[in-house]
């Protein structure tokens, strides 16, 4: 067969269920055929390489607006560059709300900024203030504009919703047909332990982990699930750090609830011990929930294998280590309470998960493809993304499964000034990234036009429809 714009020839194609030798033919940026002996105007030799779906990162913070003006230190051009260098072609990032203000203004500003993207992108809307106007007018408007997921924080001074606010967001999402994602940690328990640690003079970065042990994550996840069950609203629990939380998700799913779980590379590679490095160095590894220990990492792999955790995102955060912003915004002697949380990881996500997952024999190739692309695309309604099938966008990564690389800052191509994975040896590396049929990265060199990414307005889809099971059959979400 000929007449394709582009043919990726002779590679080993990885779909969500299979691995087989085939050519991939592309017409107009779309996968037109998968077969043998395809011919096209341009051909790329993929002999000896895997052909993976372009990565879909449904939890990353890029150029996120900050209170008081400006945005975090990862911009759309640098963030897109890091994504494409690492084999990610689609992201879902965050439009934010500041307490006391609405969501439409920041959303419009954020949408304008994202016009520079070189990856395809959609947004989650963070809700921090569940006012009547936000709940009854602005959320339905944002969802109608294609922002089909909301994020709620159950902790952080500036962001946390109380249970009533959370319930109001769940109800608004149910009415509008959106998914709710939840940061699960118990705010009051963290406050109490933090006060005690600071009073005891324990202020170093390592005490970040002490301030939020596993049971506070588990308690919040349990509560989030119970409240979502009461409203009959599907949720995804973000950045699960330990099996105790996955167990809550598994029990919910066993009862037929629509509850999904996401985890991140940091929970397979970093431990609380990293935050105990000398001086301020530990701040580089500080994220929430906190990294745990080696036994927790092993247990998380079991949750991945069982399918309880079915998405691995980066949770990339745009905080530099040096300089007056980012990790040192409160000074180099700041207590753990005043150090911004989060670690960068846009580029490193696929290499790390391939290495510690596939190369280490813990998961097979289709499972890898589902975790980093297929499942997040399905769960977040990203039509045409996440899988190598005819009709989908031709988002492909040519992957050398044997190449060994030592991760280092210069390979990350982000705007952040460090990587928490410095020195980590990985097996498996992206050789080329193709976005909608265009080769946008080859041998670590990203070449894409700022603004060439597309906004992905997400419409309704079946997966996140409520189950119809309500306590006493009463739909409180119709009234409050």
Interface ranges with Zn ion (CB under 5 A): 183, 238, 315
Contact of residue 208 among ligand URP, Zn ion, none (CB under 5-8 Å per partner type):
none
CA distance 17 to 40: 27
Contact of residue 407 among ligand URP, Zn ion, none (CB under 5-8 Å per partner type):
none
Q: How far is the CB of 459 from ligand URP (least distance, A)?
A: 25
Range 415-453 burial, b when 16+ CB lie within 10 A, else e: bbbbbbbeebebbbbbbbbbbbbbbbbeebebebeeebb
Q: Which lies closer to ligand URP via its Cβ, residue 16 or residue 288? A: 288
Phi/psi of residue 108, each to 5°?
-65, -40
- Here the tokens at position 448 are 């894409």
CA distance 456 to 356: 31
Q: Which lies closer to Zn ion via its Cβ, residue 61 or residue 367? A: 61
Q: How far is the CB of 240 from ligand URP (least distance, A)?
A: 12
Q: Which lies closer to ligand URP via its Cβ, residue 174 or residue 218? A: 218
Assess 288 for contact with ligand URP (CB under 6 A): yes
Assess 183 for contact with ligand URP (CB under 6 A): yes
Contacts of ligand URP in 118-147 (CB under 6 A): none
Q: Which lies closer to Zn ion via its Cβ, residue 148 or residue 212? A: 212
Contact of residue 218 among ligand URP, Zn ion, none (CB under 5-8 Å per partner type):
none
Range 105-142 burial, b when 16+ CB lie within 10 A, else e: ebbeebeebbebbbbbbbbbbbbbbbbeebbeebbbeb
Q: How far is the CB of 181 from Zn ion (least distance, A)?
A: 8
Contact of residue 244 among Zn ion, ligand URP, none (CB under 5-8 Å per partner type):
none
Q: Which lies closer to ligand URP via its Cβ, residue 38 or residue 283? A: 283
Contact of residue 287 among ligand URP, Zn ion, none (CB under 5-8 Å per partner type):
ligand URP
Q: CB pairs under 8 A, 24+ apart, for 187-195?
A: 187/154, 187/155, 187/156, 187/160, 189/216, 189/219, 190/155, 190/216, 194/336, 194/337
The Cα-based distances of 410 to 209, 211, 422 in angstroms read 29, 33, 10
CB atoms < 10 A from the CB of 77, how many? 18
CA distance 103 to 142: 8
The DSSP letter of residue 471 is G
Q: Which lies closer to ligand URP via its Cβ, residue 241 or residue 477? A: 241
Q: Which lies closer to ligand URP via its Cβ, residue 147 or residue 434? A: 147
Q: Per this entry, what is the length of the chain? A: 480
Q: Are strands 55-57 and 88-95 parallel, antiparallel or unpaired?
A: parallel
Contact of residue 341 among Zn ion, ligand URP, none (CB under 5-8 Å per partner type):
ligand URP
Assess 413 for contact with ligand URP (CB under 6 A): no
The packing angle between helices 214-231 and 243-254, to 10°, is 20
Contact 24, 8 (CB under 8 A): yes
Contact of residue 378 among Zn ion, ligand URP, none (CB under 5-8 Å per partner type):
none
Contact of residue 370 among Zn ion, ligand URP, none (CB under 5-8 Å per partner type):
none
CB atoms < 10 A from the CB of 402, how many? 11
Binding string to ligand URP for residues 58 to 87, with x set by CB under 6 A, is what?
Answer: ---x--------------------------
Q: How far is the CB of 463 from ligand URP (least distance, A)?
A: 22
SS3 content of the chain, % helix, strand, coil (to 5): 35, 25, 40
Q: How far is the CB of 157 from ligand URP (least distance, A)?
A: 13
Indicate which single residue of 57, 72, 262, 315 sits in contact with ligand URP (rule: CB under 6 A).
315
- Burial label for 265, CB within 10 Å (0-12, 13-18, 19+), is buried
CA distance 65 to 62: 9
Q: Which lies closer to ligand URP via its Cβ, residue 119 or residue 264? A: 264
Number of amino acids touching ligand URP (CB under 6 A): 9
Contact 467, 233 (CB under 8 A): no
Q: Which lies closer to ligand URP via its Cβ, residue 219 or residue 315? A: 315
Q: How far is the CB of 74 from Zn ion (least distance, A)?
A: 12
Contact 297, 346 (CB under 8 A): no
Contacts of ligand URP in 340-379 (CB under 6 A): 341-342
Q: How far is the CB of 122 from ligand URP (least distance, A)?
A: 17
- Here the tokens at position 195 are 């006060």
Q: How far is the CB of 289 from Zn ion (least distance, A)?
A: 8
Assess 287 for contact with ligand URP (CB under 6 A): yes
Q: Which lies closer to Zn ion via its Cβ, residue 62 or residue 135? A: 62
- Here the tokens at position 145 are 């504009």
Rule CB under 6 A: which residues touch ligand URP?
Answer: 61, 183, 239, 287-288, 315, 317, 341-342
């Amino acid at each position: 067969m000929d007449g394709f714009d582009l043919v990726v020839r002779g590679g080993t194609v990885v779909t969500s269920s299979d691995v087989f030798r085939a050519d991939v033919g592309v017409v107009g940026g779309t996968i037109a055929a998968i077969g043998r002996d395809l011919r096209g105007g341009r051909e790329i030799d993929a002999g000896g390489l895997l052909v993976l779906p372009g990565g879909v990162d449904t939890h990353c913070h890029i150029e996120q607006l900050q209170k008081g003006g400006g945005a975090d230190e990862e911009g759309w051009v640098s963030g897109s560059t890091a994504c494409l260098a690492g084999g990610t072609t689609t992201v879902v990032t965050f439009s934010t709300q500041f307490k006391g203000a609405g969501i439409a203004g920041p959303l419009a500003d954020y949408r304008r900024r994202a016009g520079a993207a070189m990856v395809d992108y959609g947004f989650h809307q963070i809700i921090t203030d569940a006012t009547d106007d936000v709940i009854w007018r602005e959320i339905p408007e944002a969802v109608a504009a294609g922002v089909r997921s909301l994020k709620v924080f159950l902790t952080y001074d500036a962001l946390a919703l109380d249970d009533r606010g959370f319930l109001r967001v769940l109800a608004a999402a149910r009415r509008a047909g959106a998914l709710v994602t939840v940061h699960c940690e118990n705010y009051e328990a963290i406050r109490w332990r933090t006060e005690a640690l600071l009073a005891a003079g324990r202020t170093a970065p390592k005490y970040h982990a002490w301030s939020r042990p596993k049971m506070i994550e588990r308690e919040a996840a349990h509560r989030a699930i119970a409240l979502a069950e009461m409203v009959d609203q599907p949720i995804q629990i973000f950045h699960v750090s330990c099996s105790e939380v996955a167990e809550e998700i598994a029990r919910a799913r066993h009862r037929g609830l629509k509850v999904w779980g996401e985890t991140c590379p940091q929970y397979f590679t970093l431990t609380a011990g990293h935050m105990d490095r000398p001086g301020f160095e530990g701040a580089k590894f500080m994220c929430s929930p906190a990294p745990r220990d080696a036994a927790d990492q092993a247990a998380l792999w079991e949750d991945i294998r069982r399918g309880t955790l079915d998405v691995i995102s980066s949770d990339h955060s745009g905080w530099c280590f040096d300089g007056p912003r980012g990790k040192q915004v409160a000074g180099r002697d700041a207590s753990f309470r005043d150090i911004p949380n989060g670690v960068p990881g846009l580029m490193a996500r696929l290499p790390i998960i391939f290495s510690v997952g596939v190369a280490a024999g813990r998961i097979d190739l289709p499972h890898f493809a589902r975790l980093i692309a297929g499942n997040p695309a399905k769960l977040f309604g990203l039509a045409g993304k996440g899988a190598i099938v005819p009709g989908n966008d031709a988002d492909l990564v040519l992957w050398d499964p044997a190449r060994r690389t030592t991760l280092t800052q210069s390979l990350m191509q982000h705007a952040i000034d460090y990587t928490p994975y410095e020195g980590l040896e990985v097996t498996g590396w992206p050789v080329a990234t193709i976005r909608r049929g265009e080769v946008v990265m080859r041998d670590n060199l990203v070449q894409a036009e700022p603004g060439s990414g597309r906004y992905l307005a997400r419409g309704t889809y079946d997966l996140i429809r409520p189950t119809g099971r309500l306590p006493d059959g009463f739909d409180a979400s119709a009234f409050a």
